[in-house]
Amino acid sequence: MGSDIRVATNQAPPLVGHNIVTGDAALVEAITRHATAEVVDDVAPIGALAGTAEAREHGMLANEFHPRLTPYDRYGHRIDEVQFHPSWHWLMDRAVSQGLAAAPWESDSPHAHVRRAAGFMAWSHTEPGHGCPISMTYAAVPALRGDAIAKEWTPLLASLRYDPGLRVASQKLGALAGMGMTEKQGGSDVRANVTEARRTSVEGEYTLHGHKWFTSAPMNDVFLVLAQAPGGVTCFVVPRVLPDGTRNRLDVVRLKDKLGNRSNASSELELDGTVARRLGDEGRGVRTIIEMVAATRLDCVLGSASLMRRAVNEATWHAAHRSAFGSPLIDKPLMRNVLADLAIEAEAATALAIRLAAAVDGIADPYEAALRRIALPLSKFWVCKRTPALVAEALECLGGNGYVEESGLPLLYREAPLNSVWEGSGNVNALDVLRALGREPEVLDAWITEVGRARGGDAHLDRAVEDTLALIGSLMGEPASLEVNARRLAMRMALCLQGSLLVRHSPAEVADSFCASRLGTAYDGVFGTLDGGDLRAIVERATPVV
């Protein structure tokens, strides 16, 4: 009797019903290490919700039905509104209510930023695009601090209430922030901005005249914007709705048609008489907004680590439930090598991401501040740069099944390059590493101390640290060679940081395989080329349990 062709066999069941937090041993260990077991318990409900079929469906719908711009209402009035699918609002509501926006800045918990980082990573498994406005809202508060404007906006940005819609701030239960820095002629070179800020008769008030080339989430309530004031590049606070209830002049020219991040509305803006309030002194705009940039760079690392982990989850889950040539894929030696290699990459990213969040919690400590200053651009450069290759390899583990939209892997693949571009490309961050090393001697001391805590734990790591210090010494003495080698230096410093964390805190099989492959002399740059080690244990550690 023949088989029923309508019945599908040998297919992996959907990966739903698992807890993103408690099912991730590397994440749980990192939270416990830098915070407490109670923080794990606190974020576990976020992980449970993120692993549901409902959350997965909302993530897919938010990307299938893209934001839509309505420049004018039916009567011809300029409104510049963007409509989102209900699933976008479902995701945003849960993110805000779970404290993933600016709540940590108003918290008295000593582990508020580690807690938020873990929750952000877990919740990003649902859909990464809506993390953009959540991240910008988180990042706006440190830029506002110390200014009188902060008293108006910080409580709303730190609120646990998601309150969408364009209304005056005094009528809202919660608010979201965005930023507008780049312009079409300058990109990352914000000092080339031409948008003009003209003083009004009101103290601290200006009108802006020009454009912004890439402003995400134009429906947010307030934006930090750079413009040329009489005293130079200056930072401004731009409300979407003015105190009298009228809409500020932010003309949305169009929404970007992007490779990925399609659930999120990224726009081009024109400013013509846009009312703004100065934040900080004239000519100090870059310095004023740098804390916002630092916080969004942290979220780039968190988001990339989350993409890695989600991709590894999908690959290991599929391999555990799919058979080929007589046995499960996960038992095939070569597939196991690939999966283990992906797993250690994701674990290294997770360990480094949570370590960065812990540095934010400890920012009052000069050591933690110095470590964050150097580790942030290193991590932004390397973790984000590794993500596209890892996601592509994970997709290939599913074969043709991974190439279809229903698997969720194409969504991850389109998203994978974004964080390497956002908040400074790889070159910008690598050059920022050089800038920090050249201007702030304490940052190198902090890096040496951090990687030195694993000294003697692995010969590959010890040798890599020595070689990296030698490289730093040689490059600092040769200015002509310094910039051209910035990427190589940033990569080596990041790998040593990751290796140090894994040697100190991860199982021996993970640390040994990472250091032997990434810090040894025979790394081929291709996933699936690990040489020895307990690969089965590594894969089992990374495979979701439902």
Residues in CB range of 395: below 8 A, 6 or more apart:
311, 402, 403, 407, 409, 410, 412, 413
Residues in CB range of 510: below 8 A, 6 or more apart:
343, 344, 347, 502, 538, 541
Predicted confidence (pLDDT) per residue in 316-347, tens digit? 999 999 999 999 999 999 999 999 999 999 99
From the list 237, 249, 166, 243, the residue with the least C-alpha distance to 210 is: 249
Predicted confidence (pLDDT) per residue in 192-228, tens digit? 899 999 999 999 999 999 999 999 899 999 999 999 9
Q: What radius of gyration, in Å, describes the C-alpha atoms of the chain?
A: 24
- In this predicted structure, what is the pLDDT of residue 2? 60
Average pLDDT over residues 495-501: 98
* Percent residues over pLDDT 90 in the chain: 91
For the chain, give every domain's residue range: 25-283, 287-542
Predicted confidence (pLDDT) per residue in 418-454, tens digit? 999 988 899 999 999 999 999 999 999 999 999 999 9
Contact 475, 489 (CB under 8 A): yes
- In this predicted structure, what is the pLDDT of residue 310? 98
User: What tokens appear for 505 in the block?
Assistant: 């805190």
What are the DSSP E strand ranges found in 160-259?
177-180, 196-199, 205-216, 222-229, 232-239, 250-255
Residue at token pair 């968190």: 302
Contact 247, 166 (CB under 8 A): yes
Helix, strand, or coil here: 206?
strand
Cα separation of 516 and 520, whole Å? Answer: 5
Average pLDDT over residues 24-52: 98
**What is the architecture of the domain spanning 287-542?**
Up-down Bundle (1.20)
Predicted confidence (pLDDT) per residue in 139-172, tens digit? 999 999 888 999 999 999 999 999 999 999 999 9
From the list 414, 339, 452, 348, the residue with the least C-alpha distance to 127 is: 414
From the list 210, 178, 420, 114, the residue with the least C-alpha distance to 297 is: 420
Predicted confidence (pLDDT) per residue in 337-394, tens digit? 999 999 999 999 999 999 999 999 999 999 999 999 999 999 999 999 999 999 999 9
Q: What class has domain 25-283? A: mainly beta
Domains 25-283 and 287-542 share a fold: no
Cα separation of 490 and 469, whole Å? Answer: 12
pLDDT over 60 at 231, yes or no: yes
Contact 214, 268 (CB under 8 A): yes
- In this predicted structure, what is the pLDDT of residue 156? 98
From the list 382, 404, 214, the residue with the least C-alpha distance to 308 is: 382
- In this predicted structure, what is the pLDDT of residue 147? 82
- In this predicted structure, what is the pLDDT of residue 146? 80
Predicted confidence (pLDDT) per residue in 1-35, tens digit? 566 878 889 999 999 999 999 999 999 999 999 99
Helix, strand, or coil here: 210?
strand
User: What tokens appear for 22 in the block?
Assistant: 């408690």
Mean of the per-residue pLDDT values for the chain?
95
Answering whether pTM is above 0.95, one says yes
- Report the amino acid identity of residue 46: I
- Within 13 A of 359's CA, how many CA atoms are on the CB side? 23
β 222-229/266-279 pair status: unpaired
By the 10 Å C-beta count (0-12 exposed, 13-18 middle, 19+ buried), 74 is classed as exposed
Helical segments of 256-408, H only: 285-321, 333-361, 366-397
From residue 67, give the alpha-carbon distance in Å to each of 134, 262, 541. Answer: 17, 8, 38
Q: How many residues does the chain have?
A: 546
pLDDT grade, residue 75 (50/70/90)? very high
